[in-house]
Structure 1
Amino acid sequence: MIKLENDDLTVEIAELGAQLHSIRRNDNQIEYLWQGDPASWKRQAPILFPFVGRLKDDQYEFAGKTYHQTQHGFARDREFKVIDQTSSQVTLEQTDSEETLKAFPFAFNLRVSYKLVDDQLNVCYSVINPDNNHSLIYAIGAHPGFNMPLSAQGSFEQVQLSVSPAEKYSRVLLDGSYNDSQNPITIDMQKPMTISHELFDNDAVIFETGGARFTATLTDPINNHGVHVHTLGTQHVGVWSPYPTKANLVCVEPWWGIADNVDADGKLLHKQGMHRLAPQDNAKYEFSIQPF
């Protein structure tokens, strides 16, 4: 387990999946990060790559061949290697292999950097295309889960979700596991929303952010502690908690990609939300977590 520390925060990261394992403020010792429970959700903060969400029939077609890939891709279940580390930051790396090429026929280099800056954890995903001839087609996203409520006296049904800018947003609905972006509804976030388990009976609440600066905040009103997730450049941010299984956790998920559309034809070149990285090019995707 990798440990990062500064005056404000102590963070732990596992090399399996480069997944966050713990986020604590040093002044209150509250554990903000969901600790995983197989009965509800065994993961904590998986990295979604090279797909976000589910593919139709867990498969896609590229260059005349059909490939099988489960929800959210394979990066979360593979080991990363530490390539740079100090007391307050670390960079981990994962690359393609014979196994990944069976499910995803592209060379890639995925680097994940965590850096503590005052009371904020800055996260950067770097995707590099090492191929000299072919573009890399992929999506990427984050899926951190947070303990909610954060006080023993609080309850899930008291937790508040607020966003900034506080305005009305288009919400993409899911039809089963697939997005129905052609038929969005409006979600009014001009005031904080008190959440419930039933809010997630149709899976994630997906905000269309359009790449603008967007912050989602979860607050436990009993002790007034919570977490800000700051994003910029994401097209969508998902907010999710398992349902009908109920657990005291809420995920805030910056996505640079999305599940297959209800009308998807299964061809990778047509898939919604995918990124194309030219040979020898690279791209960065950033967000930050600020517990309070």
Structure 2
Amino acid sequence: MITLQNENLTVMINERGAQLHSIKRSGSPLEYLWQGDAKSWGRQAPILFPFVGRLKDDQYRFAGQTYHQTQHGFARDRQFSVVEQANDHVLLEQRSADDTRAVYPFEFILQVDYRLVKDQLAIQYRVENPADHSLIYAIGAHPGFNMPLTSAGRFEQVEFKVTPAEEYSRIVLVGPYNDSARPQLIDMHQPLQLNHELFNHDAIIFKTAGSDFAATLTDPTSKHGVTVQTTGTQYVGLWSAYPAKANFACIEPWWGIADNVNADGLLLHKQGMSRLAPGQAASYHFSIRPF
């Protein structure tokens, strides 16, 4: 387990999946990050790569071959190696190998940079294509936060607000697949009061289309919460477990999305995928600020 610390924050990271394990403000006992529970959701903050969401029948076709891949890809379950580390910063990496090529026929280098910047945890994903052909992928984040943050509060009291506070196009899920051809409007001029029934059709997906977007969860009983600031995302999801009910909510920056309800299974046609030319790299940024 890796620990980062500055005068404001103490953050722990698991090298398996490069997954966040703990976020605390220095000098405070409050644990902001969900600690996982097999009865509802056993993960904490998985990295989604090389797919975001679910593929139809957990498979796709590329270059005449059919490949099987589970929801959100494999990066979250593979070991990362430490490239560099300091008290307030760590850079982790995983690369393509025989086990990834069996389900994903591309070469890649995936780096995750965690850096404490004053009272924020700045996170950068970097994807590099070391091969002589295009790399097709999606990437996203899935951090879960304890809500409420103390035993005095209730999940149903938690408020969710976004900046800019305006109407957004909401992508609806039909089962695990997106129905982007029939979006709904969601009015976020006022904060959204959480309740478990909000998630009876899975995540609430905001179409952010590359604009700067900040999402804040606040526990009004303790006056504490967390803000996730995103830059350049295509979508941001808000999710909690259902029908299992637990005291957490996820704010999920996505550069990709689950298969469309009308997807034909061909990777070249898949919605929301990024492409990198040989030798090229791309970076993706967001931050987490507990308060």
> Which TM class, normalised by the smaller chain length?
over 0.9
Q: How far apart in 2 are the matches of 1:23 and 1:100?
A: 30
Aligned counterpart, 2:265: 266
User: Deviations for 1:218-275, whole angstroms, at most 9, x for unmatched residues?
Assistant: 0000011000000010010000000000000000000000000000000000000000
Q: How far apart in 2 are the matches of 1:194 and 1:28?
A: 26
Aligned counterpart, 1:123: 123
What is the deviation of 1:210?
Answer: 1.0
Match runs of 1:96-107 below 5 Å? 96-107=96-107
What is the deviation of 1:27?
Answer: 3.7
Q: How far apart in 2 are the matches of 1:278 and 1:193?
A: 41
SS at match of 2:102: helix
Q: How far apart in 2 are the matches of 1:27 and 1:165?
A: 32
* Structure 2 residue identity aligned to 1:178: Y
Structure 2, unmatched stretches of 5+, are none
Q: How far apart in 2 are the matches of 1:39 and 1:202?
A: 19
Match runs of 1:143-292 below 5 Å? 143-292=142-291
Q: Taking every aligned residue pair, what percent have the same amino acid on both sides? A: 65
Q: How far apart in 1 are the matches of 2:209 and 2:71?
A: 23
Structure 1, unmatched stretches of 5+, are none
Aligned counterpart, 1:90: 90
User: Deviations for 1:82-136, whole angstroms, at most 9, x for unmatched residues?
Assistant: 00000000000000010100100000000000000000000000000011x2000
Normalised by the length of structure 1, the TM-score is 0.99
What is the deviation of 1:29?
Answer: 2.4
* Structure 1 residue identity aligned to 2:218: T
Question: How many residue pairs were aligned?
Answer: 291
What is the deviation of 1:28?
Answer: 2.4
Q: How far apart in 1 are the matches of 2:231 and 2:247?
A: 27
Q: How far apart in 2 are the matches of 1:84 and 1:192?
A: 40
Aligned counterpart, 2:60: 60
Aligned counterpart, 2:23: 23
Q: How far apart in 2 are the matches of 1:281 and 1:90?
A: 23
SS at match of 1:171: strand
Computed over aligned residues only, the root mean square deviation of the Cα atoms, in angstroms, reads 0.5
Normalised by the length of structure 2, the TM-score is 0.99
